[in-house]
């Protein structure tokens, strides 16, 4: 058996700025926005509207809700801009508002199964791998873009919200573990635990489509 | 190191946050345990596939309309989301 290579380099946290002590460029935009420069605030919207929309959509699984939440997040950020002191990244501050707004939206729907970040996270499901089938080298290439998108939507939608949100922020939006913990109000160990469960559960679900010998047998 | 110990270190291993002694143990375990090797490989592919194929992108036209609606709300101080996006989407779907 070939010795496995470390994958750490592929999965490192968000890129480290060239000058770690330099102020984040967002701070200047925020300062201008606080002083009444609407173009600066619009620039901040442009930079983060996709991240906020995707985060809201991953949590709510509803496009109309995600659009409303995106509006609400930036409007609330605008209203509370004076409260942002730069102790965290502006993007993390926005994500935290987005997560709160998204969970509030789920609660309004009164679907008890999906209202809590803590719902279902203590179960043992997905904690231990059961599927040890190898995947094809580039498994996604066996599906059209539309089919693949449907597979990914279905598999992530099946995760409990607490896992789905951690996976979204950490692995899709590339927040660091610490930023994810801050955005969700969780401890770092809790984020790590949920991330492991989320990754393992998604892996098991995707394996149905991507394992060797499954060509054409599993369709979204 | 057994499989349970390995799983407990999987997140740190993926994040490159593991000291050299422990990394050596992890690699040794992976060389001797095909199941864990498969878990690492397929979990890495899971992350890569989601990162490379974001299923929920925001279309440019919707982004533009949303941004305009946000700026309008900020200007007038409107608490409720404007219906500009929904109205526009509805007119598009009915046309």
Taking CB atoms and an 8 Å cutoff, what residues of chain B touch A46?
67
Higher pLDDT, B65 or A11: B65
Stretch A39-60: mean pLDDT, rounded?
95
Kindly state the DSSP code that residue A171 receives in the 8-state scheme. Answer: I
pLDDT at A160: 87
List, as ranges, residues 88-127 from A with C-beta within 8 Å of B: none
pLDDT at A91: 95
Taking CB atoms and an 8 Å cutoff, what residues of chain B touch A49?
58, 63, 66-67
CATH of A24-111, one of 1.10.1040.10, 3.20.20.60, 1.10.1740.10, 3.10.450.50: 1.10.1740.10
> Do B76 and B39 reside in the same domain of the chain?
no
- Which residue from A7, A75, A133 is facing B14, i.e. has the nearest CB? A7
Q: Answer whether B44 touches A (CB < 8 Å).
A: yes
CB contact under 8 A, B27 and A12: no
Residue of chain A minimizing CA distance to B78: A75
pLDDT at A78: 96
Q: Using N-to-C axis directions, what is the helix angle for B60-76 and A38-60, rounded to 10°?
A: 120
> Do B34 and B69 reside in the same domain of the chain?
no
**Is residue A61 within 8 Å of residue B59, measured between CB atoms?**
no
pLDDT of A2 over the 50 cut: no
pLDDT of A139 over the 90 cut: no
| Token output for B59 | 């279309």
Residue A135 dihedral angles phi and psi, to the nearest 5°: -100, 165
Q: Answer whether B61 touches A (CB < 8 Å).
A: no
CA distance A83 to B79: 18
- A116-220 has which fold? Arc Repressor Mutant, subunit A (1.10.10)
CA distance A73 to A88: 17
Task: Provide the residue range defining the domain that includes B75.
Answer: 60-94
pLDDT at A209: 93
Per cent of chain A over pLDDT 70 is 79
**Is residue A101 within 8 Å of residue A53, measured between CB atoms?**
no
* Cα of B86 to nearest chain A Cα, Å: 8
pTM of the model: 0.81
* Cα of B54 to nearest chain A Cα, Å: 8
ipTM confidence score: 0.81
CB contact under 8 A, B56 and A195: no
Domain count, chain B: 2
Locate the domains of chain A by residue range: 24-111, 116-220
> Do B43 and B66 reside in the same domain of the chain?
no
């Amino acid at each position: 058996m070939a010795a496995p290579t470390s994958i750490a380099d592929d999965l490192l946290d968000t890129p480290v700025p060239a000058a770690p002590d330099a102020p984040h460029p967002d701070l200047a935009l925020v300062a201008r926005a606080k002083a009444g420069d609407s173009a600066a605030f619009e620039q901040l919207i442009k930079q983060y509207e996709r991240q906020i929309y995707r985060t809201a959509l991953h949590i709510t699984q509803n496009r109309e809700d995600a659009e409303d939440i995106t509006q609400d997040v930036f409007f609330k950020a605008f209203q509370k801009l004076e409260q942002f002191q730069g102790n965290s990244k502006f993007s993390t501050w926005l994500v935290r508002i987005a997560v709160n707004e998204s969970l509030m939206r789920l609660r309004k729907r009164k679907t008890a199964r999906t209202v809590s970040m803590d719902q279902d996270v203590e179960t043992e499901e997905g904690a231990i791998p059961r599927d040890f089938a190898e995947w094809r080298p580039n498994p996604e290439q066996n599906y059209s873009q539309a089919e693949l998108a449907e597979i990914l939507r279905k598999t992530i939608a099946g995760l409990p919200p607490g896992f789905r949100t951690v996976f979204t922020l950490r692995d899709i939006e590339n927040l660091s573990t610490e930023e994810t913990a801050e955005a969700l109000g969780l401890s770092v160990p809790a984020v790590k635990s949920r991330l492991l469960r989320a990754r393992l559960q998604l892996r098991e679900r995707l394996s149905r489509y991507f394992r060797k010998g499954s060509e054409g047998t599993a369709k979204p | 190191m057994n499989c349970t110990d390995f799983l407990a270190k999987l997140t740190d291993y993926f994040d490159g946050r593991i000291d050299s002694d422990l990394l050596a143990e992890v690699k040794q375990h992976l060389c001797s345990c095909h199941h864990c090797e498969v878990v690492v490989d397929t979990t890495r592919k899971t992350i890569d596939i989601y990162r490379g194929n974001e299923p929920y992108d925001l279309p440019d036209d919707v982004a533009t309309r949303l941004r305009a609606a946000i700026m309008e709300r900020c200007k007038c101080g409107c608490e409720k989301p404007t219906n500009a996006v929904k109205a526009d989407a509805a007119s598009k779907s009915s046309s």
